[in-house]
Amino acid sequence: MSCCGFISTFCVFVVSVQLICGVFRFLYQQFIGPLLNGKSTDFKKYGQWALVTGATDGIGKEYARSLAKRGLNIILVSRTLSKLETVAKEISEAFNVETAVIDVNFTSGPEIYDKIKEKIHGKEIGILVNNVGMGYITPDYFLSIPNRDQMIKDMIQCNVLSIPMMCSIILPQMVERKKGLVITISSLSAIIPAGCMTVYSATKAFAHKFSEDLSMEYGKHGIKVQSILPGPVATNMTRLKKGSLMAPKADKFVESALLTVDSAPYSTGYFPHVIFQVITQFLSFLMPSYLTSLTLKTMENVRNRSIKKGLYTPVASQ
């Protein structure tokens, strides 16, 4: 065999091995691992308390309920005190655990984090769920977003700043104990084309990237960091009222996502969303222009239906 032939064969071999390993790793993290090991995960090993931001509705509320069901005491952090107290009472009575509430508005300034520090003092927080977030009223072009400047500021405060600030508060005690779990709710829009959701998808890309690199830094200290990138979930924020195969209700989604904690550093959390991710990224590789056009047209259709129903009024583009 000639030198060139040997090099070509070796390159094909290396690429084949990488491909096979990559496919197996993907299948294990997203399907085999959750199926085999997901139900045996011991969440109480991380600590006595779990803190969930954005905990009164949707995915956040269901993370709080699911972790309480697994025996953890729950700290609920959200904006409206009355809703916090209602959810806290519901969880305490249903699962016989302790609960605590912290009412802060994550679109406010940095002073809210002083209040959070004060309220959690002395509590062994083993799990942090960075769930709080805000989205668009309906998909739209950047310059057509109503009250755009304020929306940008609020979304960055809520979707971006909250994540490193909450980690800054809670991560030190996890490192001291050499154990902890940080789950951050990103979005599938962070890694696939998401025109007409530009600011939102960019904030979720930050959430995903921050989680990836935080895991790299603190995995050696016993801290598990997971990024969850869901597709559509039936919640108040998405305005999807009925669950379906591709848009499950929040309780079904969270139970599925918790099965992936021990096997996947990042996941959509829900197997049909994994399939959607694979198809989308495959199309992005083969036909990027087609996928971009299809995505934008889909978002425009959602926008136009909302306008037609009188649910949304864009501003004139500048």
Q: Which residues are catalytic?
A: 200
Q: Which is nearest to 224 in space by CA: 271, 188, 169, 174?
A: 174
- Tokens linked to 289: 């222009």
- CA 266 to CA 287: how far, in whole Å? 25
Place of tokens 């079904």: 252
- What Å distances lie between residue 29 and 32, 121, 191, 287, CA to CA? 7, 36, 18, 27
Would you tell me the crossing angle of helices 198-218 and 148-155 to the nearest 10 degrees? 20
* Amino acid at the residue 137: I
E-assigned strand segments in 98-200: 99-103, 125-130, 180-185
- CA 110 to CA 78: how far, in whole Å? 15
Helix (H) or strand (E) holding 69: helix 58-69
Residues 6+ apart with CB under 8 A from 240: 232, 233, 234, 247
Beta strands 266-267 and 99-103 are unpaired
